[in-house]
Amino acid sequence: MQGTRSSNLLRHLHKGFLPAICSLPVPGYMFGKAIVCSDAAAEAARYGFTAVDRPEGFLVLAIASLGNEITELKSPPEDTASLEEKKVGVKGLGKKKTDESEHFVWKDDIKVPSGRIVASEHKDSPLEYNEYAVYDPKQVRICYLVGVKYEEKGAVMDTAE
């Protein structure tokens, strides 16, 4: 699952997802220039949130094929260039994950991580949730688009302009 801002939606629908450096001030930088997805809607939603006064965004449900060679990372690598060059699939192990007993297999033997969020064994991870990175746009296929309206708890909109 990936979140996107409305301003990026048409580009994603027209060209698909393209590798990019994470623009959030979070450890998503650990993958380099990649297409990053999450198995947690809460994490994907962070990428789609626009502003308190414009709470509409989108969650994109996509199939991300990590391939046969998957690298699991518990912390940022020294050099992301080798990951980008090899085009390997990367799984960043987060502090929280979806309950694996609730995962299911969808058509064409696609494993779908879903279910409630539970604590993982990686309590010292820089990532809050598991994240998955791929480097080739051909490894991601957009399947569903869900429009959402975010409700930020405790947010105050400054109207003094």
pLDDT in tens, 118-129: 999 999 998 899
Is it the case that residue 159 has pLDDT exceeding 80?
A: no
CATH class given for the domain over 2-149: alpha beta
Degrees (nearest 5) of the Cα angle 151, 155, 161? 115
Of the CA atoms within 13 Å of residue 147, those in its CB half-sphere come to: 3
Cα–Cα distance between 9 and 152 in angstroms, integer?
21
The pTM of this model reads 0.76
pLDDT in tens, 76-99: 787 788 888 887 789 999 999 999
Which helix (H) or strand (E) covers residue 64, if one does?
strand 56-64
Cα–Cα distance between 20 and 121 in angstroms, integer?
29
The domain locations on the chain are 2-149
pLDDT in tens, 25-82: 344 467 888 888 888 887 777 776 666 777 777 888 888 888 888 889 888 787 788 8
Which helix (H) or strand (E) covers residue 34, if one does?
none
Cα–Cα distance between 29 and 146 in angstroms, integer?
26
Cα–Cα distance between 103 and 115 in angstroms, integer?
7
Is it the case that residue 161 has pLDDT exceeding 50?
A: yes
Q: For residue 54, what are its two tokens?
A: 């414009």
